Amino acid sequence: MKILVLEDNRELADSILNFFSSEGYVCELAPTFSEAKDKLISFSYDCILLDIMLPDGNGIDLLKFIKDENIESGVLIISAKDALDDKIKGLETGADDYITKPFHLSELHARLRAIYRRKKLNGNNTELISYNEISLNTATFEAFINGQLLDITRKEFELLMYFLVNRNRVLSKQAIAAHLWGDYTDNLANLDFVYQHVKNLRRKINLLNGNDYIDTIYGLGYKFRSADAVL
């Protein structure tokens, strides 16, 4: 996957680049509006991470540019402003998703993958994500172990998906809670449920004789251990 990152904050841009490079993605950084335009005209990207507040222009204007130039990349808006009209305007102008600073890199990754999947599917709803004996149907929210239907809840499905996307990453309980319950619900209280959900998921996979890929990282969270190279 090829990504263009529009972010004027150097340290944050470094974190994003660091994270995605280790996923094996090709990342390019454009700290300004004009640089981004140049790159978008010359190259094609699967996804664009767009900070809405740039030193030399508004991200919404760049969205219009992307639309006018018929650029097919998926766009994920990053904003420091949790402003609603930005969100609505952004989504109306053609952005695919919206994330508010500060965010978990694993969450950013999951959203990016979702956009990428949707773009790649091109309207075809059914897609199977598979890893070894595990396969997930993102349209029906069904999971299978060796072809056998796994009896899991919607939240457990989302959790498994989150693990699969962020393989070999330490996922903190906070990141998982934010992913499953959103920003506005009380994540501090949700931390206990993360433990419950992970426990249930492991037990259910185990029931169908699946491998236990989920490691507990003491004090931090969980990690989906995968032997293979990154996606």
Partner 1 sequence: MKLVDKLTLWLVVVLFLATPLSMVISYNSIRGNIYNSEVERMTDVNDKVAQQLKAGQPPHRYMLDRPIAINKVRSMPAQATKTTKFCFYNKHLKRDETRLDVASFYKINNDVYRVSTYNYIAPGELIISGMLKALFWKMLLITACVALTGRLISKLVLSSFQKTLHNIQNFSLHQKEKLEFANTNTKEFKELNFFLKKMTDKAIEDYGHMKEFSENASHEVQTPLAVIHSKLELLADTPINENQALLINDMQNAIDKLVKINRSLLLLCKLDNQEYETQENVRFCTITNSVISQYENWIQLKNLSVTKNVDKRVYVQIHPVLAEILVSNLLSNAIRYNIDNGDLSITLTKNSLTVSNTGLPPEAEPEELFQRFKKSNQSADSIGLGLSIVKQICAVNNLDVTYTYLDGIHTLHVVFAEPSMVIEEQSTETEIVFDKNTAIA
Task: Give the footprint of partner 1 on residues 13-52 (CB under 8 A).
Answer: 15-16, 18-19
**Residues near partner 1 (CB under 8 A), total:** 47
Q: What is the DSSP string of the chain?
A: -EEEEE-S-HHHHHHHHHHHHHTT-EEEEE-SHHHHHHHHHH---SEEEEESEETTEEHHHHHHHHHHTT---EEEEEES---HHHHHHHHHTT-SEEEESS--HHHHHHHHHHHHHHHHHTT----EEEETTEEEETTTTEEEETTEEE---HHHHHHHHHHHHTTTSEEEHHHHHHHHH-SSS-HHHHHHHHHHHHHHHHHHHHHTT----EEEETTTEEEE---SPP-
Residue 141 as a binder of partner 1 (CB under 8 A): the answer is no
Return the residue of 154, 227, 228, 229 that touches partner 1, per CB under 8 A: 154
Min dist CB 36 to partner 1, Å, is 18
Residue 155 as a binder of partner 1 (CB under 8 A): the answer is yes
Residue 229 as a binder of partner 1 (CB under 8 A): the answer is no
Collapse the DSSP code of 97 into the 3-class scheme (helix H, G, I; strand E, B; otherwise coil) and give the result: strand
Min dist CB 69 to partner 1, Å, is 29
Stretch that binds partner 1, among 119-127, 133-141, 171-179, 206-214 (CB under 8 A): 171-179
Residue 181 as a binder of partner 1 (CB under 8 A): the answer is yes
Min dist CB 21 to partner 1, Å, is 11
Residue 104 as a binder of partner 1 (CB under 8 A): the answer is yes
Return the residue of 6, 46, 106, 150 that touches partner 1, per CB under 8 A: 106
What residue ranges bind partner 1 (CB under 8 A)?
Answer: 9, 11-12, 15-16, 18-19, 80-85, 100-106, 153-155, 169-170, 172, 174-175, 181, 183-190, 192-193, 196, 200, 203, 217-221
